[in-house]
Copies of this chain bind each other. A is one copy, B any other.
């Protein structure tokens, strides 16, 4: 199967207690593609400016960049943030939308035809416009607190048109105004999707469907350097594995979790860019061992 991902391709300036990077490749579509490309063909869709010069990393493991729109005179999306002592809090110091400000995604026939679609975190109207162009049989999406705050109605409409929602647990609570995570997830299921994944940061993730609950801790790491992109790497592993193994939700959670664990061990895409499937599989196996009752 083929997976189309639509979202940001970015440069990040990041400072964590363990170092900093002035300009590193980032963006939701980038992290997603680097993870999903372990399992199936990936097509990345998103805009970049003249300043973008990381096509090689973006197209690793065969990801198609045919639909990456080069905007003449434009500047690539830029995010600048700093993480706190225990990496659980982060402050955004600067966001420059650049070419993303006027982004109107136009999917090529090949991207429209992909069997699986991932709508990374972008304005929910834009996500819906993409969804309407796509012929995918399985559509997953992410979002963020900003859209719950300023575009909740549009977001709920977008959610109604997808199969799987992947959000942080705090976002699920905020979206539904329900403090209980299970009730919040169940309410999202009533909006349309059949699968809800609650990302819980360093604590792992939970998967909720109408008749299943599954919980998986994060992979235990002694060194976490930079959490940027962990959620999108998780989503890439989860959705990519599902594209190849439909319905295998639990193993998809394990692959997403294992991939995210590598992502945070170095800055940006540095670790996942040189990762092997064998390394991922070893951590999936360990996840099985450390959760076995």
Contacts and interface: CB of A to CB of B under 8 A. Distances in A.
Nearest to A212: B290
A224 B180 contact: yes
A22 to B, nearest CB: 24
A260 interface: no
A213 B213 CA distance: 23
A180 B290 CA distance: 18
Contact of A250 (B186, B213, B293): B293
Nearest to A291: B291
A292 B173 CA distance: 26
B217 A206 contact: yes
A86 B179 contact: yes
This chain: how many copies in the complex? 2
Given A86-B173, A203-B204, A180 B293 contact: no
Contacts of A182: 220-222
**Interface SS of chain A:** mixed
B293 A216 contact: yes
A200 interface: yes
Interface in A193-220: 200, 202-204, 206, 213-217, 220
A82 to B, nearest CB: 15
Interface in A158-175: 173
Given A213-B290, A214-B291, 19 more contacts: A86-B173, A87-B179, A180-B221, A180-B223, A182-B220, A182-B221, A203-B203, A203-B204, A204-B215, A213-B220, A214-B290, A216-B291, A250-B292, A250-B293, A251-B293, A254-B293, A291-B291, A291-B293, A292-B293
